[in-house]
Amino acid sequence: MQKISRRDFLKSLGIGTAGVALFEGASAVPALAKENLPDFKLGPFKLKRTKETASVCAYCGCGCGIIVYSENNKVVFIEGDPDNPINEGALCPKGTTISDVSSFVDKKSHQRVPNRQRVTEVLYRAPGGSNWEVKDWDWAISEIAKRVKKTRDESFEEKDDKGVTVNRTQAIAHLGSATIDNEENYLMYKLMRSLGVINLDHCARL
Amino acid sequence: MTNHFVDYRNADVFLIIGANPAEAHPMAMRSIGMAKGKGAKIIVVDSRFTKTAAKADIYAPLRPGTDITFLYGIMNYAIQNNLYHHEYVVNYTNASYLVSPEYGFADGLFSGLAEKDGKLAYDSKKWDYQKEGENIKKDPTLQHPQCVFQILKKHVSRYDLKTVSQVTGTPEDVLREVCAAYCATGKPGKAGNVIYAMGITQHSYGSQNVRATAMLQLLLGNIGIPGGGVNAQRGKSNVQGCCDMGMLYHLLTGYLKCPDAPKHPTFKDYLKVETPKTSYWSNTPKFLISMLKAWYGEAATQENDFCYDWLPKLNGKDHSHMAIFADMAAEKVKGLFAWGQNPAVGGPQAAAERTALEKLDWMVYIDVFENETAAFWKRPGVNPANIKTEIFMLPAAFSYEKEATVTNSGRWVQFRWKAIEPPGKAKSDLWIADRIFKAIRQEYRAGGKFPAPILNMVWNYDLPGHDEPDLEKVATEVNGYTVADGKVLGTFANLKDDGSTACGVWIYCGYWAIDPKEEDPRLKVPAAQRRSREDKSGLGLYPKWTFSWPLNRRIVYNRCSADPAGRPWNPEKVLMAWDGTKWITNDVPDFKAKDPVTKEPVPPEKTANAPFIMLPEGQGRLFASGMKEGPLPEHYEPVESPVKNLISKQQNNPLAKRWKGEFAKLAETASKEFPYVATTHRLIEHYQTGTETRNSPWLVELMPEMFATISLTLAGRLGIKPGDEVIVSSARGEIKCKANVLPIVKPLRVNGSTIEIVALPWHWGYQGLAQGSIGNDLTPYIGDANTSIPEYKGFLCNIRKA
């Protein structure tokens, strides 16, 4: 089988990482008849310069298509993907406001501002501490690896009381996640099972 | 889901029980509405008059926890009035199978219940089929008193409409209307669609509730057909995919069983126990060995059992969510990875789970917002100085700030492209998992306990010049490839058990393959990235829109869409049809339509007796011996119930999962202290524990605060006015919130007494832009016997003015 990488394929179409079928001219709204158009002068089409990216809503299990319009690495607008057979352009209140997780229109300034609630730093809380401390990725990842190794090595069971090889630890648990993508879950799963984790679950159980 | 969302448009009648798509799955409701526009009928069964119920032709209120009784009422009506799909039942289910004479049922219990090591368990051998040599004894006339059909007929005969009404509280005339409307789909050519969600599953007998929906659909011939099916609507964008990847303690990838020391001490034992002689699971060795090759690469050889012993083995015990928190409270669990999860709000008896978190040595928390779990150490009422847990909070990218696939409830694996970079230092979960693994591997290079599975795990996802791991490499491994040349596999039919193929998740085989026969250059992409609206059948199958596992099959068990001779039950909606010489296949066949070697068409009579290819018997199970609490569902009361069981002396599911100490706080039956039935539910404006939506200003403005909904009668009796502050309490604790007084909740008449219902959303907590009480502080620590899902729907509470 000939293997074309996705990146090569999209490059050949000249649309970067945008959705493949979007430039077929599909539209979420049927064209208005000319006589029905309002008689005031239309302003500039704000989405004209934006990049369109096909995505899938992050909320319920329907899998509705969304189109993310972005400019200068900022989300400008999100609407339902008219090509996706599930929702055909429509969205619910959660899907409609899904841009809020990144940025939203501030009521006072009418400008789009970043969602300041987002966690944007690596944070650490020491035992008994009363605050988060800002740390860097390298420090956090290497400290996490040390904690994992210590807990795993102190609790590791190579054989059970019947002499069966079990190679497990019961002192580490993992929860998650149905909000995370397949390939990410696959790596998380390999990571946990490689450590011998059996306390492993996610919210499908709930 | 056996079917998928777009297929809802093909339904004739919907039975929506324990689901509220208008709020929880709004775009599913869109398809339901489109079917209604074409004449479909909608039946909604719910303890609340939901927004979905507002669009129903028939609304049937029922008391939380009485779904089996309700569904048995319909089945009994279908059998008594001869409305079931006789030809389907005879040919495609196990109705004709003879069951062991040792099978018995009395006083709400099946034969074979015994106590062992202080625990109750059934000996399911008592429920085996009768055999003659290797063959199961059958009676196609369905008359033999020991055949499944007669056993079922007798079992459900106790659920006449009068009795059903007394248990469920549904008025008898409404029940009759539901039965007539839904049993109309037992006619060949008619499609009845059962939709359920957490209202069915979150009970101490939730799995048996699900069984009851499947049995009803089998009786009426509604599985494997367009517009039909048993359709479980998943609550999160990738619950389906996350389960497919194996993220549940008892599973490996693709629903292979996780090795369990008592059952599978060796590789040989595993293959022996988990490989049935018939059904598609007879290929288990190919799936498992290909997974082991994907994981351990060259280290996995025939001689060392492909490193089977490197996989951790379970200890025969429960390691699900509730068990994990009980072990955490007992200080057995010391470290926790909480990855996009919020048990501090979402877990049962959530206050006790928050306390359990304090016992951890360390927690790694990964999410987009700082939710209640991340902030448990500074929650109201605690002193951070007393909490010794060390916490690492890692900022994650949101869905459109990274690229990968997600799988919806209908098994569609859809690719989402990356629109923008994540803010600040946030990273994709792929990057985070990759870095954590590499750092741990670095630690083990210097030695440590049993480092082999860590040092040898295939982990080669670097993309030169890029910070992010190479998604294509991960996807190729998930999809599967031939070891010799790395060629991407198109189908799991090509997986081998000799180590020559590697495949991370066998059911995803083909999702990353490019169809060699495809001519349109825009569709010469990995299957999960396809975006074609081609739909030649007109059934909304959209075969070239992304990929649907398994094998791009859109409706599973589709052999059942045609009669044994291959004639479609509904000639207007053809999935599969035998034209005399070959099969016309509008979907990917879920049976042998062509001989894999000769490529010759296989005539219909050869596949008519085994349309359910995942089951060893090949036929749908009206009677299932694999269930923990019996081969047939039986009505039990929720563990906390306002009434005694009217059907039998057995009050509760004898095998319901229970925990001890702090986690054993329960109200007694017909408690005077907690006289009302509580149930939890969702709202359209919020998502799960609210981590994202309570940090979204628009949604917070739409739905700002926590409330409890009660009926006009209860409000009148307690002097509660709409908007008053109330205290809702249960045996686990109490919460304060606003009262919502609306006739969407009404008292039910249950066996002569009046039962009031208190409905609680559970989207709030002490973090985010909108804060409020945690509904799950009231829910009980009780689990389903088969799956350990908590009994959130139906427990006892009290309510008073604050």
Residues contacting residue B248 through CB under 8 Å, at least 6 positions apart: A200, A201, A202, A204, A205, B320
Q: What is the pLDDT of residues A43-69, one digit of tens each?
A: 788 888 999 999 999 999 999 999 999
Q: What is the pLDDT of residues A78-91, one digit of tens each?
A: 999 999 999 999 99
Sign for the pseudo-dihedral over CA of B493, B494, B500, B501: negative
- Reported as a pLDDT band with limits 50, 70 and 90, residue A35 is low
Task: Specify the CATH class of B657-801 in words.
Answer: mainly beta
Residues of A in contact with B789 (CB under 8 A): 205-206
pLDDT (mean) for B766-791: 98
Residues of A in contact with B340 (CB under 8 A): 176-180
Distance from the Cα of A38 to chain B's closest Cα (Å) equals 28
Delimiting residues of CATH 3.40.50.740 domain(s) in chain B: 321-455
- What pLDDT, on a 0 to 100 scale, did the predictor assign at position A32? 60
CB-based contact A183 B471, cutoff 8 Å: yes
- What pLDDT, on a 0 to 100 scale, did the predictor assign at position A31? 53
- Of B277-281, B304-308, B665-669, the least confident: B277-281
- What pLDDT, on a 0 to 100 scale, did the predictor assign at position A12? 41
CB of B129 closer than 8 Å to CB of B97? yes
To probe the interface with B, which of A8, A188, A195 has the most B CB atoms within 10 Å? A188
Report the distance separating Cα B12 and Cα B35, nearest Å.
7
pLDDT (mean) for B539-546: 98
Sign for the pseudo-dihedral over CA of A129, A135, A139, A142: positive
Considering only the beta carbons, identify the residue of A1, A148, A153 that sits closest to B487. A1
Strands B547-548 and B576-578: unpaired
Considering only the beta carbons, identify the residue of A130, A179, A200 that sits closest to B236. A179
Delimiting residues of CATH 2.40.40.20 domain(s) in chain B: 657-801
pTM assigned to the model: 0.95
Residues of B in contact with A167 (CB under 8 A): 309-313, 450, 453
CB-based contact A164 B261, cutoff 8 Å: yes
Residues of B in contact with A81 (CB under 8 A): none
Expressed in percent and rounded to 5, the helix, strand and coil fractions of chain A are 30, 25, 45
- Reported as a pLDDT band with limits 50, 70 and 90, residue A17 is very low
CB-based contact A151 B27, cutoff 8 Å: no
CB of B646 closer than 8 Å to CB of B670? no
- Reported as a pLDDT band with limits 50, 70 and 90, residue A188 is very high
CB-based contact B247 A122, cutoff 8 Å: no
Residues of A in contact with B449 (CB under 8 A): 152-153, 156, 158
High-pLDDT (> 70) share of chain B, %: 100
CB-based contact B25 A83, cutoff 8 Å: no
Q: Is the pLDDT at A19 greater than 70, yes or no?
A: no
Please state which CATH number belongs to domain A6-22+45-114. Answer: 3.30.200.210
Chain A residue whose CA is closest to B294: A190
pLDDT (mean) for A13-38: 48
Give the count of beta carbons closer than 10 Å to the beta carbon of residue B464: 5
Report the distance separating Cα A79 and Cα B588, nearest Å.
32
Sheet with A51-56, strands from edge to edge, namely A51-56, A65-71, A74-80
Q: Is the pLDDT at A8 greater than 50, yes or no?
A: no
What CA–CA distances, in Å, run from B135 to B97, B130, B132, B276, B617? 10, 9, 5, 14, 10
- Mean pLDDT score across all residues of chain A: 87
Distance from the Cα of B554 to chain A's closest Cα (Å) equals 13
Distance from the Cα of B528 to chain A's closest Cα (Å) equals 11
What is the biggest distance separating any 2 CA atoms in chain A, rounded to whole angstroms? 84
CB-based contact A100 B388, cutoff 8 Å: no
Q: What is the pLDDT of residues B622-633, one digit of tens each?
A: 999 999 999 999
Q: What is the 3-state secondary structure (H, E, C) of A146-159?
A: HHHHHHHHHHCEEE
Q: What is the pLDDT of residues B127-150, one digit of tens each?
A: 999 999 999 999 999 999 999 999
Q: Is the pLDDT at B158 greater than 70, yes or no?
A: yes
High-pLDDT (> 90) share of chain A, %: 74
CB-based contact B449 A156, cutoff 8 Å: yes
Distance from the Cα of A76 to chain B's closest Cα (Å) equals 11
- What pLDDT, on a 0 to 100 scale, did the predictor assign at position B618? 96
Single-letter amino acid, residue B658: R
Counted across chains A and B, CB pairs separated by less than 8 A come out at 513
Q: Is the pLDDT at B657 greater than 50, yes or no?
A: yes
pLDDT (mean) for B291-299: 98
Q: What is the pLDDT of residues B573-582, one digit of tens each?
A: 999 999 999 9
Q: What is the 3-state secondary structure (H, E, C) of B442-505?
A: HHHHCCCCCCHHHHHCCCCCCCCCCCCCCHHHHHHHHHCEECCCCCECCCHHHCCCCCCEECCC
Chain B residue whose CA is closest to A147: B362
pLDDT (mean) for B189-206: 98
Distance from the Cα of A143 to chain B's closest Cα (Å) equals 9
Nearest to B142 by CA among B559, B622, B607: B622
Single-letter amino acid, residue B132: E
CB-based contact B450 A160, cutoff 8 Å: no
- What pLDDT, on a 0 to 100 scale, did the predictor assign at position A43? 77
Residues of A in contact with B327 (CB under 8 A): 170, 173, 199
Q: Is the pLDDT at B76 greater than 60, yes or no?
A: yes
Report the distance separating Cα B523 and Cα B664, nearest Å.
56
Q: What is the pLDDT of residues B228-258, one digit of tens each?
A: 999 999 999 999 999 999 999 999 999 999 9
Give the count of beta carbons closer than 10 Å to the beta carbon of residue B717: 11
- What pLDDT, on a 0 to 100 scale, did the predictor assign at position A158? 98
To probe the interface with A, which of B440, B462, B479, B546 has the most A CB atoms within 10 Å? B440
With tokens 């599953």, the residue in question is B201
CB-based contact A189 B249, cutoff 8 Å: no
CB-based contact B448 A53, cutoff 8 Å: no
Nearest to A141 by CA among B337, B432, B336: B432
Report the distance separating Cα B546 and Cα B531, nearest Å.
6
Distance from the Cα of B413 to chain A's closest Cα (Å) equals 9
- Mean pLDDT score across all residues of chain B: 97
Distance from the Cα of A179 to chain B's closest Cα (Å) equals 6
- What pLDDT, on a 0 to 100 scale, did the predictor assign at position A45? 84
- What pLDDT, on a 0 to 100 scale, did the predictor assign at position B628? 97
- What pLDDT, on a 0 to 100 scale, did the predictor assign at position B238? 97
| Residue B707 three-state SS | strand
Q: Is the pLDDT at A20 greater than 70, yes or no?
A: no
- B5-232: what fold? Dimethylsulfoxide Reductase; domain 2 (3.40.228)
To probe the interface with A, which of B3, B4, B25, B238 has the most A CB atoms within 10 Å? B238
Please state which CATH number belongs to domain B321-455. Answer: 3.40.50.740
Residues of B in contact with A122 (CB under 8 A): 392-395, 425
Considering only the beta carbons, identify the residue of B244, B364, B516 that sits closest to A1. B516
